[in-house]
């Protein structure tokens, strides 16, 4: 009898456990398996299950994810708890370096649907054109990029070894949230890896795949209580996000888990976790101990900081004095500079670049100065500021910004130079309307170009040792009250040491600004004076057209000004893209000089550096053109 009673009790306990553990779902909400693969909510393989905004396709027991352009990708894994899935990347067309989705321009998600590409993917772009060299970071297309060892190791990508340029980037951000784009003007194949550790050898890389994620779905919509039979333990109530609409809302004591269930709350009917309160005495004791420890650490940190600053000042003074054959810079006190800039008040901020900030300051004697400092926490920027002091101590030219001194006793080293009040050439060409400036005339543009070229020619040919600027661009050309040019920002500049002067180039890491960067220098890491000539050629194009070096508002194939202008010149239609302000009303002679400067820019931008003119030759040519415009050139 007792045994029968025990069996009956056990039977009822099993029933109760089954009821309590019942998650509450019906086939109408969760789709059935696709082959052996479960299809979790909200993914939908048919019109009568899942959420219709989250459609996937089940074909012959395999799940597929369809995208724009009629491309489809096999789903290899799904993680419903974190709303993510991985799709298989496309194969290559046989014996080519073309991805099989190339003709649909790569993978393109519909931004109106709740799917997007996660930030966990490392993308290898293959079979790329040189247009990719002009794109901004984080795309890396250097010769040391890890895409090269990948194609060399993986036999399936053997056809890609013939292509010299490939790139790599990490997804994340608005530009690749919905697409990995392929086209004949960029890259024509790709491979993707989820959570790739690029420090590992290729043999230890994970299987290729592209991770996607979906937005957390809302509970099912409803019109009445009957509609909520698909979601047990719910009732049809108003949607707080969309007034006038209703959704199946989980009843009290349960919560929507975004996977098709009304789960039972673990911590009471309101799903709130009750927190234990620690004894007040223990809290007080710990607080006192932490305060004492904190005071000790603050004092110790203060002593360490003082010692570190003394060592930094000594180290910086040694850096500035090393290999310096020119004059030494005047050393300003930190107190004087902080006072002059009102403690680096943002109201005095003139501009900010990749590694430094420039503030306007007024010294005690009334001299207005520009104070440059590295950005806080940027060690590379600190070295660039020190390098700029070393460079400017070597030079003295009317078209180069004049160094007044430096300050090395603060946490961040400071560079103090003459204040140039009239903005940059970039602002005058591309933002003059915002400043209510008059557009630059053709003659003034020629003078600015000549002064810039003359300053750079001095660095290359007259400075001892020679100096390569490495970051020539319109935003680094300042204009004074008379609109005369002053070349600035020598943070990336490179002194040519005596041991290197016999060589045709310097091997160094490629640095500069994309859009102005010499492609040959970028690929081969060989720096020469002709790298500055290439960058100056881009500035000449800006002077001619008033168009930006990189502008994503232009058509895709015309984003890069050099690529765009080479096509224009090949078609012999330069006149059509000249800035209307200098073209309208120009005399026949002026139009001839405009054409001559266009030809000079093309020579500066020659793909082979040995075919480019020297900076001195460029300056002489511009001086001759100015003579023609002013009517002072020799008639012969």
pLDDT digits (tens, 9 = 90+) for 545-565: 999 998 888 887 888 899 999
Residue holding tokens 């698909």?
230
- Is residue 126 within 8 A of residue 133, CB to CB? The reply is no
Residue stretches of the chain with pLDDT short of 70: 1-28, 134-137, 172-176, 267-283, 302-329, 353-355, 375-394, 432-436, 491-512, 632-636
Judged on CB neighbours under 10 Å (0-12, 13-18, 19+), 263 is: middle
List of residues 6+ apart from 553 with CB closer than 8 A: none
Instruction: At 387, give phi and psi (nearest 5°).
Output: -65, -40
Of 209, 205, 106, whose CA–CA distance to 151 is shortest?
205
Sequence-distant contacts of 335-341: CB under 8 A, at least 24 apart: 336/363, 336/364, 336/407, 337/361, 337/371, 337/407, 337/410, 337/414, 337/416, 338/410, 339/364, 340/364, 340/369, 340/371, 341/371
Instruction: At 518, give phi and psi (nearest 5°).
Output: -60, 115
Sequence-distant contacts of 142-146: CB under 8 A, at least 24 apart: 142/510, 142/522, 142/523, 142/525, 143/523, 143/524, 143/525, 146/198
Of 138, 196, 195, whose CA–CA distance to 167 is shortest?
138
Instruction: At 128, give phi and psi (nearest 5°).
Output: -100, 155
- Is residue 228 within 8 A of residue 135, CB to CB? The reply is no
**pLDDT value at residue 410:** 74
DSSP 502: T
**pLDDT value at residue 12:** 39
**pLDDT value at residue 11:** 41
Give a three-class secondary structure readout of 216-257: CCCCCECCCHHHHHHCCCEEEEECCCCCCCEEEEECCCEEEC
Q: CA 541 to CA 565: how far, in whole Å?
A: 8
Catalytic (active-site) positions: 471
Per the annotation, binding residues for ATP are: 372
Q: CA 374 to CA 62: how far, in whole Å?
A: 55
DSSP 607: S
pLDDT, averaged across the chain: 80
**pLDDT value at residue 26:** 45
């Amino acid at each position: 009898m007792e045994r029968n009673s025990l069996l009956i009790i056990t039977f009822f306990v099993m029933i109760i456990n089954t009821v309590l553990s019942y998650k509450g779902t019906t086939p109408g909400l969760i789709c059935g398996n696709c082959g052996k693969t479960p299809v979790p909510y909200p993914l939908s393989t048919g019109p009568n299950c899942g959420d219709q905004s989250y459609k996937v396709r089940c074909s012959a027991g395999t799940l597929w994810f369809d995208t724009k352009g009629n491309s489809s990708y096999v789903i290899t894994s799904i993680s419903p708890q974190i709303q993510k899935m991985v799709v298989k990347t496309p194969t290559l067309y046989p014996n080519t370096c073309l991805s099989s989705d190339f003709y649909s321009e790569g993978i393109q998600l519909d931004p109106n649907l709740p799917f997007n590409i996660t930030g966990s993917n490392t993308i290898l772009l293959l079979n790329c054109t040189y247009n990719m060299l002009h794109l901004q970071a984080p795309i890396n297309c250097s010769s040391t990029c890890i895409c090269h060892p990948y194609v060399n190791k993986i036999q399936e990508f053997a056809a890609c070894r013939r292509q010299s340029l490939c790139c790599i980037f990490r997804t994340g951000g608005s530009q690749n949230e919905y697409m990995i784009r392929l086209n004949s003007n960029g890259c024509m194949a790709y491979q993707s890896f989820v959570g790739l550790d690029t420090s590992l050898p290729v043999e230890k890389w994970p299987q290729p795949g592209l991770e996607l994620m979906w937005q957390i779905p809302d509970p099912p919509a409803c019109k009445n209580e009957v509609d909520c039979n698909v979601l047990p333990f719910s009732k049809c109530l108003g949607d707080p996000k969309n007034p006038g609409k209703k959704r199946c809302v989980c009843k009290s004591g349960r919560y929507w888990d975004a996977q098709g269930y009304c789960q039972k709350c673990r911590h009471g009917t309101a799903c709130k976790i009750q927190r234990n309160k620690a004894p007040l005495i223990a809290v007080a004791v710990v607080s006192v101990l932490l305060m004492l420890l904190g005071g000790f650490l603050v004092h110790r940190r203060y002593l360490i900081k003082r010692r570190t600053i003394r060592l930094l000042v000594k180290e910086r003074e040694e850096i500035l004095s090393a290999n310096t054959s020119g004059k030494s810079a005047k050393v300003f006190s930190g107190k004087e500079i902080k006072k002059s800039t009102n403690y680096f008040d943002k109201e005095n901020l003139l501009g900010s670049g990749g590694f430094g900030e420039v503030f306007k300051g007024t010294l005690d004697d009334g001299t207005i100065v520009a104070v440059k400092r590295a950005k806080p926490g940027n060690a590379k920027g600190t070295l660039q500021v020190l390098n700029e002091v070393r460079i400017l101590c070597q030079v003295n030219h009317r078209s180069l910004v004049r160094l007044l001194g430096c300050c090395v006793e603060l946490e961040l080293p400071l560079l103090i130079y003459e204040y140039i009040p009239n903005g940059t050439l970039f602002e005058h060409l591309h933002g003059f309307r915002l400043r209510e400036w008059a557009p630059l005339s053709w003659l003034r543009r020629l003078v600015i170009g000549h002064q810039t070229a003359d300053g750079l020619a001095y660095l290359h040919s007259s400075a001892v040792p020679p100096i390569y600027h490495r970051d020539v661009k319109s935003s680094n050309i300042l204009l004074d009250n008379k609109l005369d040019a002053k070349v600035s920002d020598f943070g990336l500049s490179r002194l040519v040491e005596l041991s290197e002067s016999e060589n045709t180039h310097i091997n160094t890491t490629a640095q500069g600004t994309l859009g102005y960067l010499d492609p040959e220098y970028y690929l081969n890491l060989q720096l020469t004076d002709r790298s500055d000539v290439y960058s100056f050629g881009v500035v000449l194009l800006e002077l001619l057209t008033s168009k930006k070096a990189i502008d994503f508002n232009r058509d895709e194939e015309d984003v890069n000004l050099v690529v765009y202008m080479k096509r224009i010149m090949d078609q012999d239609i330069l006149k059509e893209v000249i800035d209307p302000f200098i073209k309208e009303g120009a005399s026949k002679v002026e139009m001839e000089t405009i054409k001559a400067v266009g030809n000079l820019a093309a020579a500066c931008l020659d793909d082979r550096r040995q075919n480019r003119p020297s900076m001195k030759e460029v300056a002489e040519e511009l001086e001759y053109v100015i003579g023609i415009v002013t009517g002072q050139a020799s008639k012969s």
